Amino acid sequence: MPMSLEEYQIAQMYMVMKMQQQSTSSTEGVEVLENRPLEDDVFGKCQYTSKVYRLQSKAPTWLTTFAPADALIMQEEAWNAYPRCKTVIKCPYFTKFSLTVETIHRADNGQSENVHGLTKEQLAVRQVEYIDIASAETDYWSYAIGSNSMDFSNFKSVRTGRGPLLDGWQDRCKPVMTAYKLVTVDAPYWGFGYRLEQALLAGERALFLESHRNCFGWIDDWFGMTMQQIRELELQSDFSLNKYMKSKKAVFPDFYKAYSHLRMKNWVVRPGSQYGVDFVAYRHHPSLVHSEYAVLVLSEEDADVNGRLGVWSDFHCTIRLCGSVAKTLLVLSINKNGHGAISPSCLEDTPLKSTQSLDGVRNKVVRIRQPLKKNQETQPRFPRGIMFLWVGQVD
């Protein structure tokens, strides 16, 4: 990359934010579940992110012949301790699949050997591939991910004077840096595992090329920005999106918090309107199992906004419906602590009131399933089969 390590950190953050905006639609794109500072045992101080990638339309034809269209819904966890980063990608449908990307950034022209400190055995099976941002690909994955049509052999940055990138530019350009990425993929499936591995490796290569071409192609947009300005841009994007979503659905922040909370607990979440609830939660991919929970989202401050469970008969009707389809009703109660939900990022920092564990959901949970014991004093109780979950409050 024709930039310094410090410049690349800004360029990468700008690129990720802009590409997410461009690729997100009503049905596909990137969902950011978590984005927060973290003190990690391995990486030390880092930025942790958790995302969901919906790539249904980009699935190869051969994959859709035996897997559902949403098989390319990916879950990503990333630890950014720049200049060292690690990303782990998993797929709810292919439960044994995993793809790990370990990245080390160095201020050189790509000639460093074994920057990841691999053993002799690992080096023997390692395949090295150089990706030149001045090149352009025309394969399937480049088309599916999107292609920056900019010709860097004729490109020159107005603000920095860098470019054009001609043959051998890596040896002549200053500053220059390289992202060394160690990609490990494992898809232990008989019959198609190797083909799946190769397809995803090709997809990752196309994504690396496209994203880094954008880093340089957008240099006049981000050059000179500080980390604080980048964070402010992310907040502006967050506020704009939230304002639009709230204009469509007033309780969107509450629903976002409930959805992201379940996703962070590794539940697969789908709309629940056909069962008269807000969401349904699956332990694994919906094509493999039935949903276990029917989820209702309530706001403690705005009890009338949702218009749900307002009277006792609402409980009975909902419980009866959930029982008929073998689901447990899960009620998520959102407490904004009187501050309101300015944006979804405001809700991301919501603390949880307790960490009591129950069936994979870690929170304060009350489940009522046992009938009254004989001679036990009769008192008002919640119907059987209902679970209450207090998600927390916003400080």
What is the predicted pLDDT for the residue at 25?
Answer: 64
Domain-located, residue 362: yes
**Is a pLDDT exceeding 90 seen at residue 135?**
no
Identify the domain containing residue 90 by its residue range.
5-225
**Is a pLDDT exceeding 70 seen at residue 268?**
yes
256: nearest Cα among 276, 237, 238, 232 = 238
**Percent share of the chain, pLDDT over 70:** 78
**Residue ending a domain, choose from 225, 257, 281:** 225
Interval 126-143 mean pLDDT: 83
What is the predicted pLDDT for the residue at 339?
Answer: 54
Q: What is the DSSP string of 240-303?
A: HHHHHHHHH-TTHHHHHHHHHHHHHTT-EEEE-GGGTSSEEEESS-TTTS---EEEEEEESS-H
45 is catalytic: no
Phi, then psi, of 262 in degrees rounded to 5: -65, -40
78: nearest Cα among 107, 99, 56, 105 = 99
249 is catalytic: no
Q: If you average pLDDT over each of 309-313, 364-368, 391-395, which comes out highest?
A: 309-313
Residues 177 and 261 in one domain: no
Residue 308: which residues within 8 A CB-CB, separation 6 or more? 296, 298, 314
Interval 311-327 mean pLDDT: 85
Residues 270 and 191 in one domain: no
Structure tokens at 50: 């958790």
Confidence of residue 95 (pLDDT cuts 50, 70, 90): confident
Residue 92 is part of a domain; what is its CATH number? 3.30.530.20
What is the predicted pLDDT for the residue at 357?
Answer: 31
Domain-located, residue 235: no
Residues 208 and 327 in one domain: no
Q: Which one of 282, 285, 293, 336 is the catalytic residue?
A: 282
Give how many domains the chain has, as a whole number. 2
Residue predicted with more confidence, 80 or 340: 80
Q: What is the DSSP letter of 353?
A: S
What confidence tens digit (pLDDT) does each residue in 36-53 have? 899 988 889 999 998 888
**Is a pLDDT exceeding 50 seen at residue 378?**
no
pTM for this model (two decimals): 0.70
Residue predicted with more confidence, 136 or 270: 270
Domain-located, residue 236: no
Q: Which one of 156, 249, 290, 339 is the catalytic residue?
A: 290
Strand partners, 251: none
